[in-house]
Structure 1
Amino acid sequence: MNDLLQKVCFIFAGGAIQGFGMGVFLFPNDIPSGGAGGLAVLFHFLTAIDVGMALWIVNFSLLLVGMKYLGNKSAAGTLFAITITSISISFFEEAIHIPVRILWFDLLAGSIFLGLGIGILLRQGVSNGGIGVIALIISYKQHILPGKPLFWINCSIFMITSFVISWQIFIFALISQWISTRIVDIVCSLNVYYTYTLDWKRK
């Protein structure tokens, strides 16, 4: 029971931390946090739907696709994580207003919090949702690490988003990805193999 409670607390913290980075720093500047974030920003731009809700819809849809490969426990943890993340985004967007924004500071701070949150989630054996689920499926099928498919899928979504909203988004999104993935590596460095494979599913 204590282990389960600890795991739930870590998943909650990871989801809230990445939601903080997205809602306070990245999304107000229309900077996607990843492929799913890019789709959420795009949906928000086109339909004015709340970006937190848009992100949850995208993540939940992708989670349904990947449930077979994630396993029930990981899928449940991922659903909890993406729900906390989406709620956190909506909460922090409303609760924290920054009157004067410095784009590069927002980019750096948001990416650091994003990477920290994702790293915590991955260390608990759950996905942060989004395109990462699809990347895990591809890696499982092709017996490769998920980094390469994740990068190319995200880049494709970034290009579409930047074409619709602003070309600068593509550059900012790539920088954010680079920073956040470095933070993820730092957080996960004590147990890299466990984090980036599907072996935990079989235990």
Structure 2
Amino acid sequence: MNKKILDFAMVVAGNILIAFGVSVFILPYNILSGGLAGIGIALYPFIKIEPTMFVNFFTIALFLLGAALLGKTFAIKTMISSIVYPIALVLFQGKFHIQVDPLLAALYGGLLSGIGAGIAMRTGASTGGINVVTMILHKYSSLSLSTLVLILDAIAVGLGLFSMGIEAVLIGFIAVWAGSQAVDKVLLMGLQDAKAVQIISPKYQEISDAIHEKMVRGTTLLHAEGGYSHEERKVVLTVVSKNQYRELTRVVSEIDPSAFIVMSDTNEVQGLGFSYDFKV
């Protein structure tokens, strides 16, 4: 399928899913969720600006800001969101009547909204509103999209403390947390989980050869110096799949039981054996 058509379909699908979650779980139970709507509701007692006017004004302002800072492609895709979401919301509203506990409504409303937002964000688009700010901050900072979604939505929900009370805020935090987790999982979906492993041993060459022969994985020898002894030594760096980590530790311990092993998780690996066609 043509990538532009696929991106268009993903943006439409993501916004439809958000509209479904909001119409079925968020609005019927008055869940204090994040976004411009939540900020508008929370600030109304103080600024006396109708939430609808507040949302419309800042939706346009943030769209123009995003178009200026994030480019033409972003603007086109976000414009699709601005059209699809309100139409879908009107179509879904009042069509489904699901009686659940408000806590479950917050949880599932947040999950569905987060999944929808994540699907749209995978194309480089935004679902509009406060998510434009999320993507701008992501471009100019080291914070992940899911973390920024959590922070901004949590601030929006927290503002409701003065207008809707502590219980509504606590329930709203459930929706915000669920949404940020869903965004994170969707954005990471399809990436290669792996383990980056550093091995320190005087038998580094033997260990490196064993990784090549027994595990069919590449290695890199890093030059290092002991912090106490100041002796020069080599560190074996290798990246293995999640399922291979136990086998790696077994191979290393057979050669040098006292080898020092440092492992860290990584979510994305590109190269031979991971992103290319190569069978282990």
Specify the TM-score bucket, using the shorter chain as the normaliser: 0.7 to 0.9
In structure 1, the partner of 2:185 is 186
Count of matched residue positions in the alignment of Structure 1 and Structure 2: 189
Verify: 1:118 aligned to 2:117, yes or no. yes
Distance between the aligned counterparts of 2:159 and 2:35, measured in 1? Answer: 10
Corresponding position of 1:68: 68
Task: Tell me: CA distance 1:39–1:169, structure 2 relative to 1, closer, same or farther (3 Å).
Answer: same
Change (3 A) 1:96 1:133: same
CA distance in 2, matches of 1:79, 1:109: 26
- 1:130: Cα distance to partner? 2.3
Measured after TM superposition, the shift of residue 146 of structure 1 is 5.0
Distance 1:39 1:163 in 2: 12
Deviation (angstroms), 1:32: 3.7
Q: CA-atom RMSD, angstroms?
A: 3.0
Deviates more, 1:26-35 or 1:5-14: 26-35
| Alpha carbons of structure 1 residues 132 and 97: separation in structure 2 relative to 1, 3 Å | same
Deviation of residue 102 (structure 1)?
2.1
Report SS of the residue matched to 2:143.
coil
Tell me, in whole angstroms, the C-alpha distance in 1 between the residues paired with 2:94 and 2:150.
Answer: 31
Task: Flag the 1:36–1:48 CA change in 2: closer, same or farther, 3 A.
Answer: closer
Determine helix, strand or coil for the equivalent of 1:28: coil
Q: Which letter maps to 2:63?
A: L
Structure 1 residues 183, 135: CA separation in 2 closer, same or farther (over 3 Å shift)?
Answer: closer
> Normalized per residue, which structure has more strand?
2
Q: 1:122 to 1:139 in 2, by over 3 A?
A: closer
Are 2:175 and 1:176 equivalent residues in the alignment?
Answer: yes
Alignment correspondent of 1:80? 80
Q: Structure 1 residues 111, 139: CA separation in 2 closer, same or farther (over 3 Å shift)?
A: closer
In the alignment, the residues of structure 2 paired with residue 43 and residue 85 of structure 1 have an alpha-carbon distance, to the nearest angstrom, of: 24
Any gaps of 5 or more consecutive residues in structure 2? 192-266, 269-280
Q: Distance in 2 between matches of 1:63 and 1:149?
A: 18
Identify the residue that residue 106 of structure 2 maps to in structure 1.
107
Q: Closer, same or farther in 2 for the Cα pair 1:39/1:69, shift >3 Å?
A: same
Structure (1 or 2) with the greater helix fraction:
1
Provide Cα deviations, 1:7-52, integer angstroms capped at 9, x if missing partner: 2221111000011101110122222442324135558998887x7x
- Aligned match of 1:145: 143
CA distance in 2 between counterparts of 1:55 and 1:21 reads 19
Query: Deviation of residue 150 (structure 1)?
Result: 4.5
Does the C-alpha gap of structure 1 residues 68 and 55 become closer, same or farther in structure 2, counting only changes over 3 Å?
A: same
Partner SS, residue 127 of structure 1? coil
